[in-house]
Structure 1
Amino acid sequence: MNRSILDKEVQDYIKANRQLDPGAMAFKKSPFAEVSSSELATQIDGWQRAYKKLPTWAYSPNIYYPDKINLEQCSSEHTALVKQSLIRKGCKIVDVTGGFSVDSCYLAQEAQIVVHCELNEKLSQIVKHNAQQLGVANLVPLHTDGVKFVQDQEDNSIDYIYIDPSRRVNHAKVFLLEDCEPNIVALQDMFFQKSRYILCKLSPLMDINSALQKLKHVKLLYVISLEGDCKELLFLQDRTFEGETKITAIRLSADQLQNISFTQQEEKTTLVKTSTPLKYLYDPDVALTKAGAFKSVAKAFSLFKLHTHTHLYTSDTLESDFLGRIFQIENVYTLGEFKKLNTLGKANVATKNFPIKVDEVRKKFKIKDGGSDFLYFVTDYADNHIVIHCSKIL
């Protein structure tokens, strides 16, 4: 950590130039003897990323930004707030895998103390400095191995262990839970000796059913999307819990949080009726599809499905709180009718439970991408291939 970056004249320079291209900045000569052009570029790039992802950091003075990869891997403020809502006030937390400390800082707002363990000494120093700037006095950054730190604690001395296992091992992506580092599957018994709760953040690429089989005592599972992009899976394990996991799909946007909760047994036993396309069409958010809430969402909003395996929904009355995109249906065509009657040379095309992909559809029907019209090529309840022309409402 180069503390010269925190000098007033350097900070003023970064603030005056923070809208510039960091790549171009890296090739300019630095006006400061103690701070290189690449270090200035890192700070500018960090601010630009924080502006979108971490506005509290971006608009706090004298924040020190780490390498790009640490900012790419950290949580956003929106998803950190969800984690904050899961813990008891006044608890003791150990963040085993540290990082840039976004989650730790938000957990600290509810906790009595959060111990932030980080193997990277420079990053640990950055976290300590930023916590002071942000006024997070009960965050304790330690340059240490988080697993060993937990292992050295007395039994039942921690309330929550928070862990975000790395999905990159030796520079290669891994997709099995037990291949991540640290190996939460192998460690969970030891963690439960030290703590009642384990809060585990996993990649949205992880298979949910596989994770539920390998993780013990999972009381709650949260599938979180932000602005239409599935960001993370959160597993809350409670060593006293013996029951079926409650799954909650959460859709976050800049000014809204929507959610649906269900169990896999409820999803399995829910009966949903199919229908021809009615007045409105509903395309579920990625959090719903990842969570597997295909029938639960239909039940929650009293919707019909277009087909058992076509995960689109329809109704005659507008359900404006639906978790996903909502359209008004303009026309419905068979493929033959669409080929004869279509006058749209430009539209947004999607396929659902349809035998050919979007690119092939565009080529076959000579449709360019874009515009305000939407075309859904789908299979309906009678196994017919149809085209739904609609316009977006929400």
Structure 2
Amino acid sequence: MALHSHDPRIDMPWALDQIAGWRMAKTKLPQWATCEGIVYPPHLALEQCSSQITAEYKARLLQRLINGPSGAGGSAGNDKAPDVLVDLTGGFGVDCSYMARVFDSAVYVERQEGLCEIAEHNFAALGLADRIRVVHDDAERYLAQMKPVSAVFIDPARRDAHGARTYAIADCTPDVLTMQGELLRKAAFVVVKLSPMLDWRKAVEDFGGTVREVHIVAAGNECKELLLVLSQVRQSGERLQIVCVNDDQRFAYVAQGGGAGGCGYAVDNVDGNAVDNNAVDGNTVDNNAESLAVENERQKEADSAWQFLYEPNAALMKAGCFALIERRFGVRQIAPNSHLFVTEEPVADFPGRRFRIVSTMTMSKRALKVGLAGLKQANITVRNFPLAVSQLRKRLKLRDGGDAYLFATTDSSGAHIIIRAEKAG
């Protein structure tokens, strides 16, 4: 490449974009990276696009919606209407390329002409030219004139006119809150992709009762997307489904009650019983001093029996259904705000990381000396603890890495503790 850096026939910025794009695609979009002829956009567009994993998830989600009992595909049999998807914010086209495969046809809409040209070229390279029609237009304008379709996907840009990141739904472009009436007039289902930084309860409330499903999508234990499925206004008392996904881990439940957002109570899909997620746990608290003393003794006995520790995956942490996790898996929180769970017996299917507890220690010098004896390095996590990871690492004089895991937290009595653990099989 350096030999041709002064060759006027070579567009060096474009060539460098292609090299950088292919390198990123090898891990983010492996199927695209193996396809001959793919053209990659400038770095920002590629950085912001979905990964193959999350794009495939959205395709499966939409396939279930259109094929379900209340799907948009019309009557069964030969009279079934064609399933059509409209992606109103096409971008680089990754999401559209995967979602379109579960529809009879799709329309890709994008206001940037350069991205339209790249997408049209890439769809042809992927063998999707006959399935996806590319339209250079504004999302609001196209929505206003389009005919009703099976589903609409929209991913509002989370950057303002100056390129700064925005997170509030109303600050994104286009503003899906003002568009939702027209969206639901034109599609049986609308899937809205939002920033994973958003409070999903507030997002549900903002849409005023049109949200039927919330999908918190993580990959590699990092929250990537918040997806809302909109349909015509839900009936009073109808349950809202919450789905938490992290790689091959899936945890689903329904929520109802709790104000305008309809999210105060988690309902276990297994037995239908409700758990108040605003409570410390699923039990009634007796404020009688004698009862509290007995409870504290039981707590100490239970603490000494801790054998396994569980850390929920990023999607579950985002969902915040901690009381339901206790009920579903028979685990117990160390303390209300620790979001770490313990058991005496292993729980093989817990959706998160699983550890075997080696020892538990207080923050006294003597306890740390005994509990950390022989340890030179460790992976440190803090939950509801007064020190940041960097501060605690410096205090303990431990390097990062290794096979040991330290969880610094606050127990139910208010004491700061460190749990030393190793990964469980």
* TM-score with structure 1 setting the length: 0.87
Structure 1 counterpart of 2:45, from 61, 70, 79? 70
Q: CA deviation at 1:308?
A: 1.7
**Residues 1:292 and 2:287 are matched in the alignment:** no
Structure 2 counterpart of 1:151, from 144, 148, 155? 144
Please state whether the residue corresponding to 2:196 is helix, strand or coil: coil
**Residues 1:269 and 2:288 are matched in the alignment:** no
**Residues 1:249 and 2:244 are matched in the alignment:** yes
Match of 2:337 in 1: 309
**1:141 to 1:365, Cα distance in 2 relative to 1, 3 A:** same
**Residues 1:163 and 2:154 are matched in the alignment:** yes
Match of 2:415 in 1: 384
Please state whether the residue corresponding to 1:80 is helix, strand or coil: helix
Please state whether the residue corresponding to 2:61 is helix, strand or coil: coil
Give the aligned residue type for 1:349. I
Distance in structure 2 (CA, Å) of the matches to 1:257 and 1:109: 24
Distance in structure 1 (CA, Å) of the matches to 2:185 and 2:11: 47
Cα deviation digits, residues 135-155 of structure 1 (max 9, x gap): 11211111111221110124x
Q: CA deviation at 1:372?
A: 1.4
Please state whether the residue corresponding to 1:289 is helix, strand or coil: helix
Q: CA deviation at 1:33?
A: 5.2
Does the aligned pair in 2 maintain the 1:167–1:203 contact within 8 Å? yes
Q: CA deviation at 1:31?
A: 8.6
Distance in structure 2 (CA, Å) of the matches to 1:39 and 1:329: 53
Structure 2 counterpart of 1:86, from 61, 67, 86? 61
Query: Quick check: 335-344 or 175-184, which moved more?
Result: 335-344
Q: CA deviation at 1:281?
A: 0.6
Structure 1 counterpart of 2:189, from 197, 220, 234? 197
Q: CA deviation at 1:359?
A: 2.2
Match of 2:221 in 1: 228
Match of 2:203 in 1: 211
* TM-score with structure 2 setting the length: 0.81
**Residues 1:360 and 2:391 are matched in the alignment:** yes
Please state whether the residue corresponding to 2:97 is helix, strand or coil: helix
Give the aligned residue type for 2:43. K
Match of 2:232 in 1: 239
Does the aligned pair in 1 maintain the 2:156–2:172 contact within 8 Å? yes
Give the aligned residue type for 1:338. A
Does the aligned pair in 1 maintain the 2:4–2:10 contact within 8 Å? no
Distance in structure 2 (CA, Å) of the matches to 1:67 and 1:135: 23
Distance in structure 2 (CA, Å) of the matches to 1:43 and 1:259: 38
Distance in structure 1 (CA, Å) of the matches to 2:123 and 2:406: 49
Match of 1:138 in 2: 131
Does the aligned pair in 2 maintain the 1:64–1:130 contact within 8 Å? yes
Q: CA deviation at 1:122?
A: 1.6
Structure 1 counterpart of 2:109, from 106, 117, 130? 117
Match of 1:51 in 2: 26
Distance in structure 1 (CA, Å) of the matches to 2:26 and 2:94: 14
Taking only aligned residues, the RMSD between alpha carbons, in angstroms, comes to: 2.0
Q: CA deviation at 1:81?
A: 1.4
Structure 2 counterpart of 1:339, from 358, 363, 368? 368
Give the aligned residue type for 1:67. P
Give the aligned residue type for 1:74. C
Q: CA deviation at 1:257?
A: 4.2
Match of 2:405 in 1: 374
Cα deviation digits, residues 230-267 of structure 1 (max 9, x gap): 10000000115333321111011xxx343333423126
Match of 2:174 in 1: 182
Give the aligned residue type for 1:223. I
Query: Quick check: 380-389 or 194-203, which moved more?
Result: 380-389
Q: Number of residue pairs matched?
A: 364
Match of 1:127 in 2: 119
Query: Quick check: 184-193 or 226-235, which moved more?
Result: 184-193
- Give identity over the alignment, percent: 30
In structure 2, stretches of 5+ residues that fail to align are 68-81, 256-262, 268-274, 284-298
Distance in structure 1 (CA, Å) of the matches to 2:422 and 2:282: 25
Give the aligned residue type for 1:314. V
Distance in structure 2 (CA, Å) of the matches to 1:335 and 1:257: 34
Match of 2:13 in 1: 38
Distance in structure 2 (CA, Å) of the matches to 1:294 and 1:28: 59
In structure 1, stretches of 5+ residues that fail to align are 1-24
Match of 2:95 in 1: 103
